[in-house]
Amino acid sequence: MSLGKPSSACVVVEDLWYNYADDIVALCGIDLEIPDGAFVAILGQNGSGKTTLVKHFNGLLRSVRGRVSVFGQDTRSLPVGLLARQVGYVFQNPDYQIFCPTVREEIAFGPSNLGLPADEVRQRTEAAMAYFGLSQYAEAPPAVLGFGLRRKISIASIYTMRPRVFILDEPTVGLDRRLTLDVMHLVQDMHRQGHTILLVTHDVKIAAEFAELTLVLHDGRVLLYDDTRAVFGQVDLLLQSQIEPPQISDLARQMQVLGMPADVLTVQECFDAYQRLRSSRSGTGERP
């Protein structure tokens, strides 16, 4: 799918199919383009194919039928090491990813495995630990740290490889609201640094607040792929996939008769629209 925007694509998927077994069809003819530098949320029910799709972007899965290109090159012809420099994948469960005895070694593993000089590895590791607030745990075994810290370690250990595209598979599952926002603000900052962000999530509030584009998968097919605001406007289609837009969007739609815009995405937008409504009505002496 082309979004009709004049931007180069970092990932292009053409007619991608994937079966785990004859009777487990995970992807059924996916076509899409991810613009370089975008922030894309990937939504869909459990089993809709999100993880299977994104694992094709960094070579954890190779296309058997159809084609996946990363920065113009077919992933089938790219060695894993080269792909890892371009596309980093943060696993859904940090404990599947973390295996070194200390936080420092874990975070140093990626760049060291890429064959970077020791000085460069050291400098990237210290910078990543500071950026993710992990410096004080440098010598600690990751296993004794809390889930929120293990999640940050899993992201930091990919961050040190400086991939242009970052895939985060459900990075906020198991985190409370404070830690969720903590992680999301780091991800937002990584996006501002120029990384493309592909965020697999179940949290519609997170998608609405942070993603420019939203992709919705349903039974291994693309149900919707558009600007996030346009996607959340497709209430009936979303319900096919049991996805409800954020509650605040629903509230705003119900307040349309009072002059509220129909396409509100966040609490802040609702508040701003309400303030505008109040000030426009106070001029007329009406109560909003």
Ligand X SMILES: Nc1ncnc2c1ncn2[C@@H]1O[C@H](COP(=O)(O)OP(=O)(O)O)[C@@H](O)[C@H]1O
Contacts with ligand X by CB under 6 A lie at 20, 24, 26, 44, 46-52
Q: Which does 47 bind (CB under 5 to 8 A by kind): ligand X, Mg ion, none?
A: ligand X
We find the least distance from the C-beta atom of residue 194 to ligand X, in angstroms, to be: 27
Each as own residue / partner, the long-range contacts of residues 92-97 (CB below 8 Å, 24 or more positions apart, any chain) are 92/51, 92/169, 92/170, 92/173, 92/200, 94/147, 94/150, 94/151, 94/153, 94/154, 95/150, 97/154, 97/157
Residue labelled with tokens 């837009």: 245
We find the least distance from the C-beta atom of residue 20 to ligand X, in angstroms, to be: 3
Reported residue count of the chain is: 288
Q: Which does 24 bind (CB under 5 to 8 A by kind): ligand X, Mg ion, none?
A: ligand X
49/142 with CB nearer ligand X = 49
- What distances in angstroms separate CA 239 from CA 133, 147, 275, one per listed residue? 39, 32, 31
We find the least distance from the C-beta atom of residue 219 to Mg ion, in angstroms, to be: 14
243/270 with CB nearer ligand X = 243
How many Å apart are CA 257 and CA 288, to the nearest integer?
11
30/134 with CB nearer ligand X = 30
Q: Which does 58 bind (CB under 5 to 8 A by kind): Mg ion, ligand X, none?
A: none
Q: Which does 49 bind (CB under 5 to 8 A by kind): Mg ion, ligand X, none?
A: ligand X
